[in-house]
Amino acid sequence: MSLQGRLNTVARQAQKFSAPSTSQIVRVRNVCTSCKGAPGARSNQRSIAHSAASHRAIPFSLNTYSAPYEDRDEPVVRMLMFGKPGAGKGTLTSRLAKKYDITPISTGDLLRQHIAARTDIGIEAEKIVASGGLVPDQLMLKVLSSKLDGLGHKHWILDGFPRTFGQGELLDAHLKKRSTPLTLVVNLDVPDEVILSRISDRWVHLASGRVYNMSYNRPHVEGFDDITGEPLTRRPDDNPEIFARRLKEFYASTSPLLSYFAKMASTQTNESPNPHQHPHQVSFHRPSGLRVKTLSGSTSDEIWPQLDRLLQNTFPGLRERQEIKKTQIRSMVNDALLAELGVESDPSPLK
């Protein structure tokens, strides 16, 4: 594709984000290319790209440099979400991942991927599962770390692990060893009777995991998935007897976990300030470390605004996916403009 074609393409993509129109880009191009071949043409082009006139013609900055997360002094989302069976963990995790640049991690999905790929971890886990045993905590940590260790300073939320106090200690020790400790633990507090009513009306599409509820999230055609049209089914454990047993197991395993993380967060909050730190830093810097928060409500729609506000306040550097897309479009437009102007792209901020 020619350079002019590239300019036209990125201009069309940028229009939805209030980027300059094609005519604006062409106007800048014509102004700058009219001096081609003249003495000092390159210096003239550079001066136009950096002049006030260019900012009037281009209603956004040519500087789109953004430091990577590891170079920023901002907290990173490394999050666990706890809640009773049917409390809405999956729904809220999906909303977070859809709105923000957060990677959702499911230990169950990771384990199935290892088994399907026939990795050493997967082969070992498959033998245990096939014999009816439970995958040991150390092996589950290997499954999980195979993903977490590659994320570096990216934001993530973990589902399905830890479920016991021992697993919590293992995960905490591993993350601290990697200098990527947990930063947020959320506990969803939904009344038992609400969850029991919810799971009694719940239907699922097993292949995709999509969940429907006959009380407030009905499928378009009763009994069939909205996307594939395939039949919906009930989960085997969606009945009062099994729910009561799972609820008892949840309280027995999760209460010690929450106490463990709450104590850790309290210890970090009450730590004495660094005596070598400037007083202004002690006064005005946001405390770092783990935060534990309980969010209450009867539905995911009630809890979502609380969760959204919590992340915005705790992680001010967290970007929405739409914002990232805007930055990418602007970068494409800028690169095309600078290439046409004959100016090399500079990743550092323009003065």
Sign of CA dihedral 140, 145, 147, 151: positive
Compute the half-sphere exposure of residue 200: CA atoms within 13 Å on the CB side of its CA: 10
pLDDT at 243: 83
Tens place of pLDDT per residue across the chain (351 aa): 665 666 666 566 655 554 444 444 444 444 444 444 444 444 444 444 444 444 444 444 444 444 444 445 678 999 999 998 888 898 899 999 999 999 999 888 899 899 999 999 999 999 998 888 888 999 999 999 989 999 988 999 998 899 899 999 999 999 999 999 999 999 999 999 888 887 788 888 888 878 888 877 889 999 999 999 999 998 777 778 888 888 888 889 888 999 999 999 988 755 445 555 444 443 333 445 899 999 999 989 999 999 999 999 999 988 888 777 777 787 888 888 888 777 665 554 433
End-to-end CA distance of the chain: 32
- The pLDDT assigned to 279 comes to 44
- Cα R_g (the chain), whole angstroms: 26
What does the pLDDT read at residue 296?
96
Q: How far apart are CA 108 and CA 65, in angstroms?
A: 37
- Whether the upstream peptide bond of residue 305 has omega within 30° of 0, thus cis, is no
- Arch. (CATH architecture) of 78-190+236-268+289-333: 3-Layer(aba) Sandwich (3.40)
